[in-house]
A and B are shown apart, each in its own frame.
Chain A
Amino acid sequence: MKFDIVFAGVGGQGAVSLANVIAASALTEGLFIKQSEVHGMSQRGGAVQATLRLSDSEVASPLVSRGGAELLISMEPLEALRYLSLLSPEARIVSAMAPFKNIPNYPELENVHARLRSLSGPRGPVAILIDAEKIAREAAGTARAANVVLVGAASRFLPIRAATLEQSIAKFFARKGEAVVENNLKALRAGREAAGQ
């Protein structure tokens, strides 16, 4: 089993932390991983990409090949469109709906959503668009749990058990107290539910 994941977003949105949570879960399940992330100049409000490669045997290269990834998790809809070449024809996309507009030529948001929705693979639509901030506010009382909502939505496709993800989320937020852990677990479940609809 090999499963490559691409994380997309804008510098500061938390692509690396998101990858860390899933990587921790994969390790718990005894999978081998290679995780690649971006530091330095591109962190400053620019397009940011991270990758996570999971396998039941040793992973050699930290880089994902063109057509190699099975899942794209994007914190921003325009950024999701940037990495389609890395995805296999059978891949799935989980993307937040809200735009991060820090460039003057950001396209019409409806067109961006429409382009994502129009992507189709052998199992039908490729992309699931999630109103992550709204779901986070409803489930956890804070839009800051939006990334965890995305993890929850992506968990439909990950080769990792939901219970393991919950453990990792609990561990990740443990320092911040029980209430924060509980809220993020709610966000995780709400995301998973939203992706199942």
Chain B
Amino acid sequence: MSENTLLLGNEAIALGAIHAGLGAAYAYPGTPSTELMEYLVERARESTEGGAGFKASWSANEKTAYEEALGAALVGRRSLVAMKHVGLNVAADPFMNSALLGLHAGLVLVVADDPGMHSSQNEQDSRFYADFAKIPCFEPMDHQECYDQAREAFELSERFGVPVMLRLVTRLAHSRGSFRLAAPARRDSAFRKPPKASSWILMPANAKRQWHEHLEKQKALQDYSERSPFNRYRAAGEGAGLAVITSGLATAHFEELEAEHKGSVSHLKIATYPLPEERIRELAAKHAVLYVLEEGYPLIERQLRGIIPGKTEIRGKLSGHLPLEGELTPDLVRAALGFRTLPSLQDRLQEPAIPGRPPQLCNGCPHADSYGFIKTALQPYGGVGSERVLVTADIGCYTLGALPPYSAVESCVCMGASIGMAKGAADSGFHPAVAVIGDSTFLHSGVSPLLDAIASGTRLTVVILDNETTAMTGGQPKLHETSRIRQLVLGLGADPAHVHEVQAHRKFAAENVALLARELEYPGVSVIIAVRECVETAVRGKAQVRATSAPAVGSGT
């Protein structure tokens, strides 16, 4: 197994996990992390012969995914859970507490950050979560490290009994590169429960002991980092030249450009956290100025202040040498280090601005038709966007309804927030308040706030846009049939007379407008489920049936 393989960064991690003897993997789709689980689901279907296969499943949300992975680890399986950066907010509860459990089977958390916000609502840096939970974190610079560190993360997790985070960023998750494979480890198929049962029962007496033990491990984790071959220190030759600390993808940008520097270079490449402090001090001892290149927030830059003498000048994001926002690029690194920029075809041109081309809903998208009836029904109240009408929305393709020509929704904060926020406004007496949420988002985080609204009899209208897939991330399979979303809503206690399923198609616009208009006047919770399959998955589904007549990708549940 030494051939070169060309894969996405996400896939390289997935393959590393398989070769580490993965037993179970769980995820909720979210850009830029999605392809990791897609790859595992695909490979799990191939590897079930002989019962030695692993389990790979999509979950309702990141919290349930994390807990499912934790349960697999509880019975001795090497487990992986993957999500995007904001997904870790959802999974933060099991994540923080899992640090204390004293794991006996490896648990690896893969988080894909999205600096630059290509497809996200913020650019939070997951390394802070690893620091917060005091667990180790790997930060790969390329595809080889994605593969190698995924394997090493399981080893480390079991050696120290802690979950290990693997943090990557959009441009690594979504780039293809080649790397070498090593021989796969054998999968351990025996169930093994924890040697000390009480370590998993975090009631105060046990939790205090576990927290103490976790703190005691910190020195050993630090030592691991000092000796890890993933961290590399290369000292300058004669004379104190340029001194640079890099991590993750910033290492790749720097190594690319390093040849452009004429003098000598001292370079410390960091790929593991907690930081290798001794190596940092070794570098700082020889240089008055240190550059720090890192993707995301200035985490290394901040921590350096507690590690090296105050007189050392640190140049990075806090000093203004690099921007605090957006993703790092080779050009930003050039500018920060004072390297020459390359001549460009653009230099001699004085071109008028090119009109932007923002993303938009596909032709024939059912959401467009749903926004049509929602806007018409709200017209008598002053219309969407007026002071007298509130339409909250959520996260998915339908967020594009905020843009012209729809301009139909007024919020996008986090998964499930549409219903809770509309309830908050309605509780204050605001009417009409309408929440628009997709089927996957509803199942992810919309059920609990709807329960709140039903319990308190809030005057609220919820429109669930059911396109029968998770469209934005590429059409992952639905967890529930449409009919079961209706049953779920009824099970929460909604009045059946005010729970409706309608066709999300413009040919039913008149009926849908009339229905919504009626429900807006109902002084309680109404739920309208607007159903029509995503046009993208419909086309793909037909093509798939034609090509193979194989069943659609199952969630493995």
Which A residues have a C-beta under 8 Å from some C-beta of B?
A: 10-12, 23, 27, 32-47, 59-68, 78-79, 81-82, 84-89, 91, 102-103, 105-107, 115, 119, 121, 126, 175
C-beta contact mask, B319-355 vs A, less than 8 Å → 1, else 0? Answer: 0000000000111001000000111111111010011
Q: Are B252 and A39 in contact (CB under 8 A)?
A: no
* Bound-state Cα–Cα, A179 to B76, Å: 52
Q: Are B354 and A35 in contact (CB under 8 A)?
A: no
C-beta contact mask, B98-135 vs A, less than 8 Å → 1, else 0? Answer: 00000000000000000000110000000000000000
Closest chain B residue to A46, Cβ basis: B359
Q: Are A44 and B362 in contact (CB under 8 A)?
A: yes
**Shortest Cβ-Cβ A-B pairs, 5 listed:** A40-B119, A40-B31, A67-B342, A46-B359, A67-B344
A40: which of B118, B255, B334, B349 is its contact (CB, 8 Å)? B118
Closest chain B residue to A64, Cβ basis: B330
The yes or no answer to B298 lying at the interface (CB within 8 A) is no
Closest chain B residue to A119, Cβ basis: B345
Flag the segment in B85-93, B170-178, B460-468, B503-511 that touches A.
Answer: B170-178
- Name the interface residues of B526-552: CB closer than 8 Å to any CB of A: 547
Knowing A10-B357, A61-B256, the reply to whether A38 touches B342 (Cβ < 8 A) is no
C-beta contact mask, B379-418 vs A, less than 8 Å → 1, else 0? Answer: 0000000000000000001001000000000000000000
B175: which of A41, A47, A62, A79 is its contact (CB, 8 Å)? A62
Q: Are A46 and B342 in contact (CB under 8 A)?
A: no
* Bound-state Cα–Cα, A42 to B341, Å: 28
* Bound-state Cα–Cα, A65 to B177, Å: 18
A39: which of B31, B253, B354 is its contact (CB, 8 Å)? B31
Which residues of the partner chain B approach A121 to less than 8 Å between Cβ atoms? Answer: 345
Minimum C-beta distance from A84 to chain B (A): 5
Which residues of the partner chain B approach A11 to less than 8 Å between Cβ atoms? Answer: 359
- Name the interface residues of B37-73: CB closer than 8 Å to any CB of A: none
The yes or no answer to B274 lying at the interface (CB within 8 A) is no
Q: Are A79 and B330 in contact (CB under 8 A)?
A: no
The yes or no answer to B75 lying at the interface (CB within 8 A) is no
Q: List 12 A-B contacts (CB under 8 A).
A: A34-B175, A39-B32, A39-B34, A40-B119, A41-B118, A60-B256, A62-B171, A63-B171, A78-B355, A84-B349, A85-B345, A87-B344
Which B residues have a C-beta under 8 Å from some C-beta of A?
A: 6, 31-32, 34-35, 118-119, 142, 171-172, 174-178, 249, 252-253, 255-256, 329-331, 334, 341-349, 351, 354-362, 397, 400, 472-474, 547
Which residues of the partner chain B approach A38 to less than 8 Å between Cβ atoms? Answer: 118, 174
B177: which of A39, A62, A102, A115 is its contact (CB, 8 Å)? A62
* Bound-state Cα–Cα, A85 to B330, Å: 14
Minimum C-beta distance from A128 to chain B (A): 15
Closest chain B residue to A37, Cβ basis: B174
A85: which of B31, B178, B346, B355 is its contact (CB, 8 Å)? B346
Q: Are A45 and B119 in contact (CB under 8 A)?
A: no
Which residues of the partner chain B approach A103 to less than 8 Å between Cβ atoms? Answer: 355-357
* Bound-state Cα–Cα, A22 to B90, Å: 40
Q: Are B344 and A105 in contact (CB under 8 A)?
A: no
Q: Which of B345, B346, B473, B547 has the most CB of A within 10 A?
A: B345
B178: which of A27, A37, A105 is its contact (CB, 8 Å)? A27
Q: How many A-B residue pairs have CB under 8 A?
A: 155
Closest chain A residue to B357, Cβ basis: A47
Minimum C-beta distance from A81 to chain B (A): 5
Which residues of the partner chain A approach B253 to less than 8 Å between Cβ atoms? Answer: 60-61, 63
* Bound-state Cα–Cα, A146 to B453, Å: 53
Which residues of the partner chain A approach B354 to less than 8 Å between Cβ atoms? Answer: 78, 81-82
A89: which of B31, B331, B344 is its contact (CB, 8 Å)? B344
A66: which of B249, B255, B331, B358 is its contact (CB, 8 Å)? B331
Q: Are A41 and B351 in contact (CB under 8 A)?
A: no
Minimum C-beta distance from B233 to chain A (A): 18
* Bound-state Cα–Cα, A79 to B354, Å: 9
* Bound-state Cα–Cα, A35 to B249, Å: 14
Closest chain A residue to B176, Cβ basis: A35
Q: Are B31 and A41 in contact (CB under 8 A)?
A: yes
Q: Are B31 and A107 in contact (CB under 8 A)?
A: no
* Bound-state Cα–Cα, A79 to B357, Å: 9
* Bound-state Cα–Cα, A119 to B334, Å: 27
A35: which of B118, B177, B358, B473 is its contact (CB, 8 Å)? B177
Q: Are B358 and A105 in contact (CB under 8 A)?
A: no
Which residues of the partner chain A approach B334 to less than 8 Å between Cβ atoms? Answer: 65
Closest chain B residue to A79, Cβ basis: B357
* Bound-state Cα–Cα, A82 to B351, Å: 10
Q: Are A33 and B344 in contact (CB under 8 A)?
A: no
Knowing A46-B359, A61-B330, the reply to whether A36 touches B341 (Cβ < 8 A) is no
Closest chain B residue to A27, Cβ basis: B6
Q: Are B255 and A60 in contact (CB under 8 A)?
A: yes
Which residues of the partner chain A approach B345 to less than 8 Å between Cβ atoms? Answer: 67, 84-85, 87-89, 91, 119, 121, 126
* Bound-state Cα–Cα, A86 to B357, Å: 18
* Bound-state Cα–Cα, A89 to B342, Å: 10
Which residues of the partner chain B approach A82 to less than 8 Å between Cβ atoms? Answer: 354
Q: Which of B118, B331, B344 has the most CB of A within 10 A?
A: B344
Minimum C-beta distance from A87 to chain B (A): 4
Q: Are A84 and B472 in contact (CB under 8 A)?
A: no
Knowing A38-B118, A84-B345, the reply to whether A43 touches B359 (Cβ < 8 A) is yes
Minimum C-beta distance from A186 to chain B (A): 24
Closest chain A residue to B400, Cβ basis: A44
Knowing A27-B6, A33-B6, the reply to whether A88 touches B174 (Cβ < 8 A) is no
Minimum C-beta distance from B474 to chain A (A): 7
* Bound-state Cα–Cα, A60 to B255, Å: 7
Minimum C-beta distance from A126 to chain B (A): 7
* Bound-state Cα–Cα, A102 to B255, Å: 40
Which residues of the partner chain A approach B249 to less than 8 Å between Cβ atoms? Answer: 61-62
Which residues of the partner chain B approach A79 to less than 8 Å between Cβ atoms? Answer: 357
* Bound-state Cα–Cα, A171 to B351, Å: 41
Q: Are A88 and B32 in contact (CB under 8 A)?
A: no
* Bound-state Cα–Cα, A106 to B357, Å: 9
Q: Which of A37, A40, A66, A91 has the most CB of B within 10 A?
A: A40
Closest chain A residue to B9, Cβ basis: A62
Minimum C-beta distance from A18 to chain B (A): 14
